[in-house]
């Protein structure tokens, strides 16, 4: 089966069949990163541009490693060194990059919709690596791969997502993807962190963590974006963590075999207590990172290597 | 034929035969970037250092892609991450890089003459990727390649260059190169943006855009360096664009088959109106970018791969 | 013989046999960088992460070139573009990188002990590329390689190290390594730049340069870290250079065939007068840089390529 798509812009656009294809392809790529020689010639002679307008370690590195393990040429452009300094618009940047004949442009941007704009402008494949508070589909796909790996399925699971739902592209992409795959999603967060009309996305809403995680198969804690919280949507970190930090007490409300996820980087003691974050019997946070390389290899392969 | 040169420092140093050799080699490389597998082993095992002391997206990316498509190893050094932070002089940086045995050093620097200093210090090939307001030879070569591609020749064409001539390394390199190739060059710009004695470079000078572009085969609009204009050499952007913006009205003064060029990034509505910049019947701005990769591949090949 | 070590954290941990193995391996790699095709397939499919929390040109570039000439994939992460911006701890960064299955992590960090912490957390090989004022073992190894190259031996030589001993990781690593290899070490510097109890490291201490360099086979001048000297541990640069700058007069006190070393970047006229720094009859500063690539190739090979 082929992925009949030019771009990966969001989970909202992907069908169940497409998601399954991506996850199965990613599973088959997982083994390459454990080999003595972690490299296959699949994308030799392809050019991948990582165009990052926001700081990132893990996502950019994950895409760069994914590209290199498939033998593609990878080019990093970050906003601090780019012509954005000269006031070039995203549109002109896009058209200029297009004229250099890359095969894929991976973009992270603080503005929701930037990857969609790029997609409409250039003929190359675009992968959204996070656009504002909108979507982060590769994160959702690696989360789904991790859930499937640990639970054997996604359908029928109860999955709690807690924290700053309103500002989280990770939450949004996971809600789109996981509901589509048949999971039951509940969310929890302070009132100021819950988007209006969120029930319309097909989720149940709670104003406290305990109710949300009761009976959950999966608990996904979101990152508090400390660096974006100058406008202070909650009284204090201390008060937040008193009500919304996952710890050894409240985790007992979840299923015995619950798995704990976090997109990283963790604020230890704010979203998750350190003992839970580092507990190998429930935390799958590093499996998420590991699966991230495989998911990105799968997407690069399906978009530009799978049509041969 | 071989290029009997160690370095590419400026158009002033290149002979007509050398320019023709570079352009023909670039034309032969153009096809590689359209292949399914965009890579040839020509420069395998060669090391190219991109040493950029000024922000750049397109030029640095263009050189990096050019190097990778020839299978060279490319190393990026930008001033924000370099020992320049520690106060190292260009001389010591150069000698240190030389001791690591690269094959080519591509340098962009805000000081005119920096590539020439580098060239006198190290045994490796130097390519000037822009030095202050002095020269930007790879830009001129890609411009010449684009003109030749669209017009079939350079000799005998009337080429108008308009804008901030005095501060433009693009203008200077093009004037050197295009006059050498037999084109008739006219320039236009506000009095504060015209260098003294510019007629001595073999160009005609006008103080208004209309006179300059009348009958032109090629119109090359220069970028207003907004980020360098704090000292305000012209009254206002609005006044500038009223007199020097290429638009659907004044372009009628040029030949019917005029082509419009710009080194990018464009300030839309300042140097060129958006409808002209995006009009595929006259704008060749993206061809310039596309040809840029081929020109840089050609230079890398001629300097370090062509002697075998 | 194999290097039975997971990491290269400091010269203090390396035995004489291990140092000899590394130096001999580096000597055998020196030739690769002089070939027409400077690349061997030794580390194809290996992933090397350069994790630099401090600005660096030569060390980062040297490691990147070393990795690429061995055909490894190299990934650069610098603090300015990393999740450190988001407040991620070194511990979480380390665990996340580990989950992406690199083979080696090269780390430079302003905190002494950071590489050791990393080593205790992740299963991959760690190379210390400089940790605070603690150690810089690859610099010491390339210094030792240079001394051996020029003098034929290390044992029995008189080696003077002068400057800011207290804040220098280069001095510390060299003192550990060179005394172990049987050299006699003397150090000199202003009282404020000498660590307490330094005699316990097995060195003789002088408060003036002349006494230290008298009869020396090797003079190693340390860099004054101007950018760290806001707290001014010495009265003025001028006064420092009057007493501690190596010049054509005081160098006569050393042996006739003395060699002059500096880890770079040099503050010309502060630590070494320009005529001495550039004198090919005594200065081996660029040999150090050249040997640096070979030493790093050797370490990468011994850590991750030598067990096959």
Chain A hits for B289, Cβ within 8 Å: 96, 99-100
Contact A264 C92 (CB under 8 A): yes
E-strand ranges in chain C read 47-52, 73-78, 104-109, 125-131, 158-162, 184-188, 204-206, 218-221, 259-261
What is the pLDDT, as a whole number, of residue A78? 85
- CA dist A249 → A210, B120, C250 (Å): 10, 70, 71
Concatenated DSSP letters of B41-87: STTTT-EEEEEESS--SHHHHHHHHHHHHTT-EEEEEEGGGSGGGGT
Structure tokens at C99: 């989950």
From the CA of B27, how many Å to the nearest CA of chain C? Answer: 26
The predicted structure's pLDDT at residue B304: 95
Closest Cα of chain B to C84: distance in Å? Answer: 16
Q: pLDDT digit string (tens) for C124-179? A: 999 999 999 999 999 999 999 999 999 999 999 999 999 999 999 999 999 999 99
| Neighbouring C-beta atoms of residue A148, cutoff 10 Å | 20
Would you call C57 and B99 a contact, using CB atoms and an 8 Å cutoff? no
Please answer yes or no on whether A73 and B61 come within 8 Å at the CB atom. Answer: no
User: Which of A55, A64, A78 lies at the smallest CB-CB distance from C86?
Assistant: A55
Residue A246 has pLDDT above 60, yes or no: yes
Among C37, C61, C78, whose Cβ lies nearest the Cβ of B44?
C37
Whole-number average pLDDT of chain A: 92
* Cβ contact, residue pair C100, A62, below 8 Å: yes
Tell me B126's DSSP state.
Answer: E
Q: Which residues of C touch A265 (CB under 8 A)?
A: 83, 86-89, 92-93, 96
- Binary contact (C45, A64; C-beta < 8 A): no
What is the end-to-end Cα distance of chain B in Å, rounded? 12
Exposed e or buried b per residue across A262-280, where buried means at least 16 C-beta atoms within 10 angstroms of its C-beta: bbbbbbbebbbbeebbeee
Distance of CA A101 to the CA centre of its chain: 27
How many angstroms away from the CA of A121 is the closest CA of chain B?
12
**CA angle A40-A45-A51, nearest 5°?**
95
Q: How far does B268 lie from chain A, in Å, by closest CA?
A: 9
Among C45, C82, C86, select the one facing A39 at the smallest CB separation.
Answer: C45
Query: If you measure CA to CA, which chain C residue comes closest to A52?
Result: C81
Please report all neighbours of B, defined by 3+ CB atom pairs within 8 A.
A, C
Has residue A173 got a pLDDT over 50?
Answer: yes
Cβ separation A267–C92 shorter than 8 A: no
Do B52 and B78 contact (CB within 8 A), yes or no?
yes
Cβ of A92 and B265 within 8 Å?
A: yes
Q: Assess whether pLDDT exceeds 50 at residue A85.
A: no
pLDDT at B308: 46
CA nearest to C220, candidates C176, C186, C267, C181: C186
Say whether B234 sits in a helix, a strand or coil. coil
Question: Around Cβ A196, how many Cβ atoms within 10 Å?
Answer: 7
Interface partners of C (3+ CB pairs, < 8 Å)?
A, B
Give the C-alpha separation, A93 to B57, whole Å: 8
Q: Is the ipTM of this complex over 0.90?
A: yes
Query: Which residues of chain B are modeled with pLDDT < 50?
Result: 81, 83, 85, 308
The C-alpha of C95 sits at a distance from chain A's nearest C-alpha, in angstroms, of: 7
Residues in chain A whose Cβ is within 8 Å of chain C: 33-39, 52, 55-58, 60-62, 64-65, 68-69, 78, 80, 226-227, 264-268, 286-287, 289-290, 292-293
Interface test mutation site (partner B, options C34, C43, C61, max chain B beta carbons within 10 A): C61
What is the pLDDT, as a whole number, of residue C231? 55
**SS3 annotation, C210-251:** HHHHCCCCEEEECCCCHHHHHHCCCCCHHHHHHHHCECCCHH
Length of chain A: 308
Give the span between the Cα atoms of B289 and B304, in whole angstroms.
23
Question: Within 10 A of A95 (CB to CB), how many other CB atoms are there?
Answer: 20
- Whether C216 and C258 have beta carbons less than 8 Å apart is answered as yes
List of chain C residues whose C-beta atoms are within 8 Å of the C-beta of residue B53 = none
CB atoms within 10 A of CB C195: 17
Q: How far is A224 from C32, CA to CA, in rounded Å?
A: 50
Q: Please give the Cα distance from C181 to C15 (Å, whole number).
A: 9
Q: How far is C46 from chain A (nearest CA, A)?
A: 6
Distance, CA of B201 to CA of C25 (rounded, Å)? 57
Cβ contact, residue pair C286, B98, below 8 Å: yes
Q: Determine the residue of chain C that is closest to A40 in CA distance.
A: C45
Strands C204-206 and A125-131, sheet pairing: unpaired
Is A55 in contact with C93 (Cβ distance < 8 A)?
no
Nearest CB partner across the interface for A289, out of C47, C84, C96: C96
pLDDT at B85: 43
Chain C residues whose CB is inside 8 A of the B94 CB are none
Query: What's the CA gap between C136 and C269, in Å, rounded?
Result: 25
Three-state SS sequence of C239-297: HHHHHHCECCCHHHHCCCCCEEECCCCCCECCCECHHHHCCCCCECHHHHHHHHHHHHH
In terms of CA atoms, which chain B residue is nearest residue C67?
B73
Give, to the nearest 10 degrees, the angle between helix B285-300 and helix B137-151.
120
Nearest CA among C220, C213, C222 for reference residue C252 = C213
Q: Check C81 against A55: CB less than 8 A apart.
A: yes
List the Cα angle B61/B63/B68 in 5-degree steps. 95
> DSSP letters along A35-91, please?
SSS---STTTT-EEEEEESS--SHHHHHHHHHHHHTT-EEEEEEGGGSGGGGT--HH
Q: Which residue of B has its CA nearest to A97?
A: B58
Taking the C-alpha atoms of residue A304 and residue A214, their distance in angstroms, rounded to an integer, is: 43
- Indicate which of C96, C97, C122 best probes the interface with A, i.e. most A CBs within 10 Å of its own CB: C96
Torsion angle of the four alpha carbons B292, B294, B299, B300, in this order, in degrees rounded to the nearest 10: 110
Q: From the CA of A100, how many Å to the nearest CA of chain B?
A: 5
- Residue C308's pLDDT is 47
Contacts of A82 in chain B (CB under 8 A): 55-57
Q: Round to whole Å and give the CA distance between A284 and A147.
A: 9
Tell me which chains share at least 3 CB pairs under 8 Å with chain A.
B, C
C-alpha distances out from residue B257 to A165, B156, B283, Å = 56, 15, 11
Among chain A residues, the shortest Cα distance to B289 is held by A99
To test the contact with chain B by mutation, choose from A99, A104, A105, A305 the residue with the greatest count of B C-beta atoms within 10 A, namely A99
Q: What is the pLDDT of residue A228?
A: 57
Which residue in chain C is spatially nearest to A266 when comparing CA positions? C88
Q: For an interface test with B, give the residue of C32, C60, C139, C265 to mutate (most B CBs within 10 A).
A: C265
The half-sphere exposure of A69 on its side-chain side, counting CA atoms within 13 A, is: 31
Q: Mean of the pLDDT values across residues A236-240? A: 84
Element spanning A28, H or E? helix A16-29
* Torsion (CA) C209, C210, C214, C216 in degrees, nearest 10: 30
Show Cβ contacts of residue B133 under 8 Å, excluding neighbours closer than 6 positions. Answer: B112, B166, B167, B168, B169, B172
Facing residue for A101 by CB, picked from B33, B64, B268: B33
- Contact call for B61 and A77, based on CB within 8 A: yes
Proportion of chain A above pLDDT 90, given as a percent: 80
Residues of B with CB under 8 A from a CB of C: 44-47, 49, 73, 75, 77, 80-89, 92-93, 95-102, 308
Count B/C contacts: CB-CB distance under 8 Å.
94
Query: What are A115-153's pLDDT values in tens digits?
Result: 999 999 999 999 999 999 999 999 999 999 999 999 999
Alpha carbon of A112: minimum distance to chain B alpha carbons (Å)? 23
CB contact under 8 A, C290 and B96: no
Alpha-carbon span C153 to C156, nearest angstrom: 8
What is the model's pLDDT at position C235? 63
- The verdict on a CB contact (< 8 Å) between A55 and C85 is yes
Contacts of A289 in chain C (CB under 8 A): 96, 99-100
The DSSP string of A223-284 is PP-GGGGGG-SSS-HHHHHHHH-B-TTGGGGS-TT-EEE--S---BTTTB-HHHHT-TTTB-
Per-residue pLDDT, B300? 98
A100 three-class SS: coil
Q: Provide the 3-class DSSP secondary structure of residue C65.
A: helix
- Is residue A177 within a helix (H) or strand (E), and if so which, with residue range? helix A169-180
Query: Cβ distance C48 to C73 under 8 Å?
Result: yes
Where chain C has pLDDT below 70, the residues are 1, 80-88, 226-235, 306-308
Please give the interface size between A and C, counted as residue pairs whose CB atoms are below 8 Å apart. 93
- C-alpha C308/C-alpha C306 separation (Å) is 6
Distance from CA of A259 to the nearest CA of C (A): 18
């Amino acid at each position: 089966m082929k992925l009949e798509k030019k771009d990966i812009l969001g989970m909202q656009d992907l069908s169940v069949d497409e998601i399954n294809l991506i996850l199965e392809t990613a599973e088959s790529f997982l083994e390459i990163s454990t080999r003595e020689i972690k490299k296959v010639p699949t994308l030799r002679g392809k050019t991948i541009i990582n165009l990052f307008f926001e700081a990132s370690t893990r996502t950019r590195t994950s895409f760069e490693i994914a590209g290199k393990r498939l033998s593609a040429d990878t080019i990093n452009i970050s906003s601090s060194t780019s012509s954005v300094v000269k006031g070039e618009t995203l549109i002109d940047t896009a058209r200029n990059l297009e004229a250099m004949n890359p095969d894929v442009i991976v973009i992270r941007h603080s503005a929701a919709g930037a990857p969609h704009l790029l997609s409409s402008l250039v003929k190359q494949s675009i992968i959204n690596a996070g656009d504002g508070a909108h979507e982060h589909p590769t994160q959702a796909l690696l989360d789904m791969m991790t859930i499937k790996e640990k639970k054997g399925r996604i359908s029928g699971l109860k999955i709690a997502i807690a924290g700053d739902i309103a500002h989280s592209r990770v939450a949004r992409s996971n809600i789109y993807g996981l509901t589509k795959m048949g999971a039951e999603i509940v969310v929890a967060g302070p009132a100021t962190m819950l988007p209006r009309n969120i029930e319309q996305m097909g989720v149940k809403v709670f104003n406290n963590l305990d109710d949300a995680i009761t009976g959950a198969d999966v608990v996904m804690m979101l990152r508090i974006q400390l660096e974006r919280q100058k406008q202070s949507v909650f009284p204090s970190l201390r008060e937040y963590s008193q009500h919304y930090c996952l710890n050894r007490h409240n985790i007992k409300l979840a299923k015995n075999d619950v798995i704990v996820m976090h997109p990283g980087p963790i604020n230890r003691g704010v979203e998750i207590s350190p003992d839970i974050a580092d507990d190998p019997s429930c935390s799958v946070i590093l499996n998420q990172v590991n699966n991230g390389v495989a998911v990105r290899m799968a997407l690069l392969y399906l978009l530009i290597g799978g049509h041969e």
